[in-house]
């Protein structure tokens, strides 16, 4: 009876969603090019309302390359991850360093994921010692250009070459060591904060503009998977692994809300309305009390976004990336990290690490 009612709610939501959906289909410049979907759109074949300002793409040349036009020039799109809200770009003319020298992201919606400053030097052609790797495409027979992050090399070249500029390079991977010289031929890796559709996409939903005249986005067609209705069912049946899995689903939900709030983002998940009609907070808690939770180490994410070893850049609970100044809690023993907001909820209900199921029940004593 209860379940039937739920299905009815879900059905009615699906129907509203389908009728209000705009005719913006996924597209691509060719079979081997990246899939294009909101917030990107194909400028010459789709209406502007299919995308978000600054995310227009076009297809160029005989190979139908996907091109992103930034204020400083045109870039070929190598890949897009709609979950992590990242894009990999390169130079369609195979001279990325030339583009890097004039790159200015300040008026674009994008920013670097791992930005690293490189010093560029312009040397007369006979300066080729030290095994430095010249940047071929902006050097010629009369002069040689180098890019480096090494203070030693900067000191060396400063005396003999012309300093061009110190340039922020949105690199593909973080550099943990100095780069003696680089021809900078890897892709540039950029991310976008707005519109924040990553959580929606990761749940299998579709993100669109709420209306033509606003910049607010809305999440449609989120599949039923991971809904708290399941949590309630499992919790009623009993404890154990299935219950925990569903609580994790519930947490993803809660944390998604926290995250989108944190992003000052007004996107609304349609199904959240439904979720408030079901699943009261389970009372079968076998979690930790607040003082035990508080005794687990907390760290503030730094600009380098570096966390201790088993972790990457994404919170496994809410699937959004850590940002500088966010508070992260790490589990004793296994050192798995999570947004404190996300994992505290979990620990109140479960005494285990959400990733490895280690029991952190013997917390380090509070000093
Ligand atoms: C970028 O591509 C557009 C065509 O889509 C062209 O009109 C424009 O001149 C190009 N800009 C640069 C800097 O090459
Ligand atoms: C996007 O990134 C996430 C997290 O790194 C990864 O799990 C996922 O497979 C990526 N998606 C694509 C399409 O590459
Ligand atoms: C980038 O562009 C903005 C706006 O056009 C300008 O204010 C800023 O100085 C530029 N930054 C650099 C490093 O050129
Ligand atoms: C390097 O210097 C030469 C000679 O002054 C100049 O023609 C060339 O444009 C410079 N290259 C760069 C990348 O600044
Ligand atoms: C190098 O400089 C010489 C003399 O200034 C000039 O004739 C020649 O064209 C230059 N070579 C290149 C590749 O620019
Ligand atoms: C939004 O704009 C597109 C074309 O620009 C138009 O076809 C569509 O009807 C508009 N939708 C609304 C809700 O105004």
- Better-predicted residue by pLDDT, 4 or 349: 349
| Ligand 4 contact, 114 CB (< 6 A) | no
Residue 312: pLDDT band (50, 70, 90) is confident
Q: Are strands 110-112 and 114-124 parallel, antiparallel or unpaired?
A: unpaired
Whole-angstrom Cα distance, residue 302 to residue 193? Answer: 18
Lining ligand 3 with CB less than 6 A are 104, 106-107
Taking the CA of 73 as reference, the closest ligand is 1
Beta strands in 222-283 (DSSP E): 268-269
pLDDT at 41 over 50: yes
pLDDT of the residue at 127: 67
Distance 99 CA to ligand 1 centre (A): 13
Per-residue pLDDT at 94: 93
**How confident is the model over 256-262, as a mean pLDDT?**
40
Distances (CA, A) of 187 to 82, 88, 99: 17, 6, 12
Asked if 207 and 149 sit in the same domain, the reply is: no
Domain, as residue range, for 54:
19-70+194-224
Q: Which residue from 111, 116, 176 is spatially nearest to 323, judged by alpha carbons?
A: 111
CA 58 to ligand 1: nearest atom: 5
In this structure, the answer to whether residues 110 and 178 fall within a common structural domain is yes
What's residue 292's pLDDT? 86
CA 79 to ligand 2 center in whole angstroms: 11
Are 299 and 341 in a shared domain? yes
Q: What is the residue-averaged pLDDT of the chain?
A: 76
| Whether residue 69 has its Cβ less than 6 Å from ligand 1 | yes
**Exposure class string for 151-182: b at 16+ Cβ within 10 A, else e:** eebbebbeeebeeeeebebbbeeeeeeebebb
CATH code at position 295: 3.30.40.10
Q: Are residues 166 and 303 in the same domain?
A: no
Cβ contacts of 207 within 8 Å, gap of 6 or more? 38, 39, 195, 197, 200, 201, 217, 218, 219, 220, 267
- Look at residue 316 and give its three-state secondary structure: coil
The reply to whether 260 falls in a domain is no
d(CA 218, CA 269): 6
* Ligand 1 atom 2, closest CA: 74
Which pLDDT score, from 0 to 100, does residue 175 have? 79
Query: Does residue 268 sit within a domain?
Result: no
**Together in a domain, 174 and 199:** no
Structure tokens that stand for 236 in this block:
């009623």
Which pLDDT belongs to residue 100?
Answer: 95
**Predicted confidence (pLDDT) at residue 168 exceeds the cutoff of 80:** yes
Asked if 174 and 204 sit in the same domain, the reply is no
Residues 202 and 343 in one domain: no
Q: Mean pLDDT across the stretch 303-329?
A: 80
At 192, list the tokens: 């976008």
Say if residue 100 is in the same domain as residue 54.
no
Which of 44, 53, 42, 39 has the alpha carbon at shortest distance from 213? 53
Mean pLDDT of 142-146: 90
* pLDDT band for position 126 (cuts 50, 70, 90): low
267 within some domain: no
For residue 266, tell me if it sits in a domain. Answer: no
C-beta of 140 in contact with ligand 5 (< 6 A): yes
pLDDT at 327: 87
Residue 57 lies in a domain: yes
Q: Please report whether residue 231 resides in a domain.
A: no
Residue 155 has pLDDT above 50, yes or no: yes
What per-residue confidence (pLDDT) applies to 320? 80
Q: How would residue 349 be classed by pLDDT, with cut points 50, 70 and 90?
A: confident
pLDDT at 106 over 60: yes
User: What does the CA dihedral 327, 333, 336, 342 come to, rounded to 10 degrees?
Assistant: -50
| Nearest Cα residue to atom 14 of ligand 2 | 81
Give the pair of three-digit tokens for residue 45. 């074949």
Ligand 3 centre distance from Cα of residue 104 (Å): 6
* Ligand 1 within 6 A of CB of 58: yes
Q: Is residue 132 part of a domain?
A: yes
Ligand 2 first shell, C-beta below 6 A = 81, 83-84, 314
What are 80's strand-pairing partners? 87
For the cut 70, the answer to whether the pLDDT of residue 128 exceeds it is: no
One domain, residues 174 and 119: yes
Domain for residue 4, yes or no? no
- 200 & 59 share domain: yes
Q: How many domains does the chain have?
A: 3
């Amino acid at each position: 009876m209860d379940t039937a009612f739920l299905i009815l709610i879900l059905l009615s939501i699906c129907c509203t969603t389908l009728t209000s959906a705009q005719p913006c289909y996924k597209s691509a410049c060719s079979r081997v090019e990246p899939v294009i979907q909101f917030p990107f759109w194909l400028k010459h074949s789709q209406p502007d309302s299919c995308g978000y300002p600054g995310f227009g793409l076009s297809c160029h040349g005989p190979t139908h390359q996907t091109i992103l036009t930034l204020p400083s020039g045109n870039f070929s799109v190598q890949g897009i991850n709609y979950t992590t809200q990242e894009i990999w770009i390169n130079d369609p003319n195979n001279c990325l360093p030339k583009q890097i020298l004039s790159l200015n992201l300040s008026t674009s919606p994008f920013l670097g994921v791992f930005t690293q400053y490189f010093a560029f030097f312009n040397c007369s052609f006979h300066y080729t010692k030290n095994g430095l790797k010249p940047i071929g495409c902006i050097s010629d027979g009369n002069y040689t250009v180098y890019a480096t992050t090494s203070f030693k090399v900067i000191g060396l070249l400063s005396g003999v070459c012309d300093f061009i500029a110190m340039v922020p390079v949105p690199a593909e991977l973080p550099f943990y060591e100095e780069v003696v010289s680089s021809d900078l031929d890897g892709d540039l890796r950029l991310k976008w904060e707005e519109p924040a559709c990553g959580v929606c996409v990761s749940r299998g939903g579709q993100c669109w503009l709420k209306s033509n005249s606003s910049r607010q986005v809305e999440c449609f067609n989120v599949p039923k998977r991971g809904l708290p209705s399941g949590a309630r069912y499992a919790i009623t049946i009993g404890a154990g692994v299935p219950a925990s899995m569903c609580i994790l689903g519930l947490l993803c939900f809660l944390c998604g809300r926290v995250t989108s709030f944190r992003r000052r983002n007004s996107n609304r998940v349609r199904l959240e309305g439904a979720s408030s009609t079901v699943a009261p907070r389970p009372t079968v808690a076998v979690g930790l009390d607040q003082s035990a939770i508080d005794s687990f180490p907390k760290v503030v994410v730094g600009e380098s976004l570096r966390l201790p070893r088993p972790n990457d850049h994404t919170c496994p609970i809410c699937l959004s990336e850590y940002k500088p100044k966010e508070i992260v809690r790490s589990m004793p023993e296994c050192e798995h990290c999570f947004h404190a907001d996300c994992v505290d909820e979990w620990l109140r209900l479960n005494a285990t690490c959400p990733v490895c199921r280690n029991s952190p029940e013997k917390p380090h004593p509070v000093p």
